[in-house]
Structure 1
Amino acid sequence: MAGYTDKVESTGSQSEEQAHVETVDRPAGPAPVTLQSFAHLDEKAILRKMDLRLIPVLALLYLLSFLDRGNIGNAKIEGLQEDLGMTDDQYNWCLTAFFFTYAAFEVPSNLMLKRVRPSIWLPAIMVAWGVVMTLMGIVHNYAGLLSARIFLGVTEAGLFPGVAYYLTNWYRRDEIQLRQAMFFSAASVAGAFSGLLAFGIGKMDGIAGLHGWQWIFILEGIATVVVACIAFFALHDFPETAKFLTEEERAFVVYRLKYQGQSEDPNRAQVAQADEFRWKYARDAFLDWQIWVNVFVYWGIVCPLYGISLFLPTIIRQLGYQSSQAQLMTVPVYITAAILAVIAAYFSDRVGKRSPFIIGFLLVMVIGFSMCIATDPKENPRVVYAGVFVAACAIYPAFPGVIAWLSNNLSGSLKRSVGMAIQIGVGNLGGAMASNFYRAKDAPQYKLGHGLELGFIGAGIIASLILLIGYSAQNKKRARKIQDGVLDSYTVEELSAKGDRAITFRYVY
C-alpha cells in the first residue's frame, strides 16, 4: 500500500467520521492521509464487495460447525441412545463433555489465529473436526461416543471465536452486528437444515449395515472435510492482503478501522488502537470487569440457545408427534429466527445501540419459556410449540448482539481477540449446563428445564443493566476529564497502549 503507510488514520462512529478528521502532529514530510483523500471511493460498494467475498464462506463454515455439534439431537430420535445401550444420564454426559474441551481451547485457538493466517488455521481445524464427526458414525458404545464428543469440542473450539474476531478486522464497530448476524444466522439455518437432513438421511437406515443415525454423522462429517478443503482457497486473510480489493481500497479499509471508539471532542488528536503482540494486552483482557459481566449476559442467551438446539426435536416429539414430524417441525422455527436475526442486527447497527435490543429479546425469551412452563403439553401442545417458537425467535437475534456488544467495547486487536475468546469460551460452559436441563424423566412438560432457562435469562437481564449503567457512567466520567484538560497529560502512545481504558475511548451501550 505504497503512499498510504506511515500515516495516522482516523475512524470512529459514522457520524464522527463525517464530521471531522484529526491527525497527530508529525515532523515535516508528506501530508498525512485524511478521510477526504478517499472521498472519490464508493464506501458502500466496497462494503458490498467485502460482504460477498467474506460472509457466504464464513456462514457455510459455521453452518457445518453448528450442524455437527447439534446433530446428536437428531441422531437421538433416530435411535442413537437405544442402539448404543446408553442411559439418559450417559447421553447427557456426551452432550456435556463437548463443552468442557470446547471452552478450554478457545483462547489458545484465538492466540494461534494471531500467529497463523486465518486461511490456514480455520480450514485446518475444520478438517480435524470433520474427521472426528465421520468417525463418530462408527462408534459402538457409550465410551466411544463420549470420546468422540470430547475431541469434537477440541477441534471445533476455534471456529466461532476465531471468525467473530476475524470479522472485527474488516468491519467497523457500527457495522459489525449485521455481519455477525448474517454469519451467525447460519446457526439458525443449520437447525432447519439439520431437521431436513435427518429426515432424509434417516431413510438410509440399514444401508451397508449401518443405522440411520450413523449415516447422519458420516455424511455430515465428510461434507465438512470437503468444504474445508475448498475454504483453504476461498478464505481471505486480512484487508491489507485482500486481492479482491484495489491498492487504494485496501488502504481505505485499513484507514477506517485504525481508530475506533473515540470521543466526539474535536479538540483532541485521534488515538490509534494498539496492534502489536504483547502479553500485557492478553492479561488486561483477563482482568477486565466488562468481559466477566458480559459472560452472564452471554449465559442468559446461550443456555436457552443450546437448550433449543439440542432438545427441540425431543421436546416436539414429546408433544405427541412422530420422529419424522418432529424433525420437520423444527424447520419453520429456525428459518424465522434467522430472518429476525438479520433484521434486528440491521436496526441495531443503524441506531448504534446494543443494550435495548439485547434486553428486549431477553424479555421476549421470558414470555416464550413462561408459555412452555405454564402449559400442560398434553392438553395444549400447540401452545408449548408456540412458546419454543417465540423463545427461539428472540434467542437467535440476541446472540450476535451480545457478541457485537463486547467486541465494540474492546480496543486493541490482541485484547479484543483474547477478550472475545474468553467471552465465548467461558460463556459456552453454559452449553454444558444446558445439556443437562432437559431430563428424560421430566418429559413432556420439562418444568425444570424451562425453569432453569428462565433463571439464566433473569441473570442475563441483570448483567445487561449493570453493563448499561457502568458504560454510561464511564463515558460521562471520561468526558468530564477531557473538559478539565486531563487529556494534555497523556501522550498519544500512552493513550494507544490504554486501548478502551483511555479517556478518549467511548463505550457503546
Structure 2
Amino acid sequence: MDGLGGVAVLEGALSVLTGIAVFFILPDSPESAGWLNQREKQFLRRRLDQDSGTREGRVASTEKFQLKYLIAALTDWKIWFTVLVYWGSTIPNYAMTFTAPQIITYLGYTAAEAQLLTVPIYAGALISTVVCAILADKYKTRWPFVVFPYTAAAIGFIGLLATPQARLPGLTYAFLFPVTAGCYPGVITVVSWAANNLAPSSKRAAGLGLSLTLANAGGIVGSNIFLAKEAPRYWTGYGLCMAFISIAIASALFLRFTLKRENHKRDQYSEEEIREKYTEEQLLEMGDASPLYRYVY
C-alpha cells in the first residue's frame, strides 16, 4: 500500500466485502430471522403489512425479489425527480461541511475557533431536522418540509453572497444558520417521501437504493465547487448551491402537484368498481400502480 491510494483501496474493499456479506447474513423477512420467536415474527409481519400500503389499499409485503420490480424501480419517473430533490440537500451539505470552517476563518477567527463555531450551526441543523420530521409525520405530508426549509437555505446563500464579510462578520456567520438548517431536513424528508410512494417492498428497496446512491453522488459536486481562488466570496460555490436548491424546489412542487392529480384520478372510481375489475392478488402485485393505492405528497 502506497500512501493515500492504499488507504482508499482498503476502505473501499471493506465496504464491498461488507455489502457482499450482508446479502447472505441479513434476513429477507421476519420469518427467516432465526433469533425471533413466533410472537415477534407475527408482530413484525403485521407491522410490515400495515406499512406496505395506504388507508385505501394494501400491497404485497411478502414477495420474493423479482426482476420486474427492479425494472419498475429503474423506470419510475418519481425516483428520478426525488434525486433532483435530494441534490438540493446533499450538494450544499457536502460543500458546507468542508467550507464552513474556512468561511469562518476569513471572519478573523483562528482555525481552532472556526471549528468550534461550526458546532452551533450544526446543532441548529439537528433541531431543524427533528422538528421537520415530527411535523411531516404529524400532518402526513412531505412537500412543505422540503420546499420551505430549502427556501430558507436559498435565502441564506443570497445573504452570504450579498454581505460584505470583512465589515459584517456577525451577519455573515448568522447566514450560515439558515443554510444548514434549511438543507439538512431535506435528506430525511425525501427518504420517507420516496419510500411512501414505492410499492411493493422489492420495488421500494431497489428504488431507495438507486435514489440514495445517486443522491450521495452529489458529494462529488459539492466537494469541488468552492474554489480556493474565489475565497472569501465563493461566487461559484454559492451560485451553484442556489441553482441546485432552486431545481430541488421546482422538482418537489412538480411531484406534489403530479401526485395529487394522480390521487384525484383514482378517487373517481369506487372501491367496488375496482374490485369488480381486479382480483385481490392482482391489486397486491400492482403495488403503487394499484388504483386503491394513494400517493403521499
- Structure 1 gap ranges (5+): 1-134, 164-231
Relative to structure 2, which stretch is displaced further, 381-390 or 463-472?
381-390
**Mapping 1:10-409, distance limit 5 Å:** 144-145=3-4, 148-149=7-8, 152=11, 155-156=14-15, 239-240=30-31, 241=33, 243=35, 247-259=38-50, 260-264=52-56, 270-273=58-61, 275-409=63-197
3-state secondary structure, aligned to 2:267: helix
Query: Does the 8 Å CA contact 2:85/2:248 hold for their aligned counterparts?
Result: yes
Query: Does the 8 Å CA contact 1:352/1:508 hold for their aligned counterparts?
Result: yes
Deviation at 1:236, TM superposition (A): 9.3
Deviations 1:249-301 (A, max 9, x none): 4312321321433353xxxx744336211111111110000000111101111
Deviation at 1:438, TM superposition (A): 0.5
Deviation at 1:429, TM superposition (A): 2.0
TM-score (norm 1): 0.53
Aligned amino acid, residue 116 of structure 2: L
Query: Does the 8 Å CA contact 1:487/1:503 hold for their aligned counterparts?
Result: no
Aligned amino acid, residue 504 of structure 1: L
The corresponding residue for 2:255 is: 467
How large is the RMSD of aligned CA atoms in angstroms?
A: 2.8
- Measured in 2, the distance between the counterparts of 1:384 and 1:460 equals 24
- Measured in 2, the distance between the counterparts of 1:289 and 1:324 equals 46
- Measured in 2, the distance between the counterparts of 1:435 and 1:406 equals 25
3-state secondary structure, aligned to 1:503: coil
- Measured in 2, the distance between the counterparts of 1:485 and 1:409 equals 23
3-state secondary structure, aligned to 1:504: coil
The corresponding residue for 1:218 is: none
The corresponding residue for 1:66 is: none
Query: Does the 8 Å CA contact 1:274/1:499 hold for their aligned counterparts?
Result: no
Query: Does the 8 Å CA contact 1:297/1:463 hold for their aligned counterparts?
Result: yes
Change (3 A) 1:251 1:408: same
Deviation at 1:148, TM superposition (A): 3.9
- Measured in 1, the distance between the counterparts of 2:12 and 2:165 equals 34
Deviation at 1:316, TM superposition (A): 1.7
Aligned amino acid, residue 255 of structure 1: R
- Measured in 2, the distance between the counterparts of 1:481 and 1:159 equals 47
Deviation at 1:445, TM superposition (A): 1.5
- Measured in 2, the distance between the counterparts of 1:153 and 1:406 equals 28
3-state secondary structure, aligned to 1:485: helix
Deviations 1:167-200 (A, max 9, x none): xxxxxxxxxxxxxxxxxxxxxxxxxxxxxxxxxx
Deviation at 1:325, TM superposition (A): 0.7
Aligned amino acid, residue 44 of structure 2: V
3-state secondary structure, aligned to 1:481: coil
- Measured in 2, the distance between the counterparts of 1:330 and 1:395 equals 15
The corresponding residue for 2:280 is: 492
Change (3 A) 1:299 1:152: farther
Deviation at 1:158, TM superposition (A): 10
3-state secondary structure, aligned to 1:299: helix
Change (3 A) 1:150 1:402: farther
3-state secondary structure, aligned to 1:480: coil
Q: How many residues align?
A: 291
- Measured in 1, the distance between the counterparts of 2:113 and 2:226 equals 20
Query: Does the 8 Å CA contact 2:59/2:200 hold for their aligned counterparts?
Result: no
Change (3 A) 1:402 1:320: same
Percent sequence identity over aligned pairs: 36
- Measured in 1, the distance between the counterparts of 2:5 and 2:99 equals 18
Query: Does the 8 Å CA contact 2:142/2:193 hold for their aligned counterparts?
Result: yes
TM-score (norm 2): 0.88
The corresponding residue for 1:480 is: 268
**Is 1:503 paired with 2:294?**
no
Query: Does the 8 Å CA contact 1:271/1:492 hold for their aligned counterparts?
Result: no
Deviations 1:350-379 (A, max 9, x none): 111111111111111111111111112111
